[in-house]
Amino acid sequence: MSKKEILLLSAAFGFLIIWILDLQAGLPPTLEPTFWNKIFYHYSWLMMAVGCLFYFQYTKQIRVKKQADEKAEQGENKLTDDKKAQRKALLKGKK
């Protein structure tokens, strides 16, 4: 896991904790304390946590794809190197 992914996970976890603590803090006196008012008043913290988790997943998929592409390139290079080695061996045998 890269540093970026670790920071994103910790930020998401932190926003989730802030959201829970903010739910416990209560509402301003001008709002009626219903269940949905409590949830939607503190909704931004939850959405920040979800956004960090989505961005973590996005960066993870990019990293995994990049690693797979690098492995494929190494495999192609190995195949071409093996073919070159075989050609050199055949040319040495013909002389």
pLDDT at position 84: 73
The answer for 26, left when phi > 0, alpha when psi is -120 to 50, beta otherwise, is left
Residue 78 has a pLDDT of: 64
| Tens digit of each residue's pLDDT, the chain (95 residues) | 889 999 999 999 999 999 999 888 877 888 888 878 777 888 899 999 999 999 999 999 999 999 998 888 877 666 566 777 777 777 877 65
pLDDT at position 61? 95
Which backbone phi and psi does 71 adopt, to 5 degrees? -65, -40
End-to-end CA separation in angstroms for the chain:
52
Output the pLDDT for position 62.
95
- Residue pair 49/59 in contact by the 8 Å Cβ criterion: no
- Give the number of other CB atoms < 10 A from CB of residue 7: 12
CA distance 60 to 64: 6
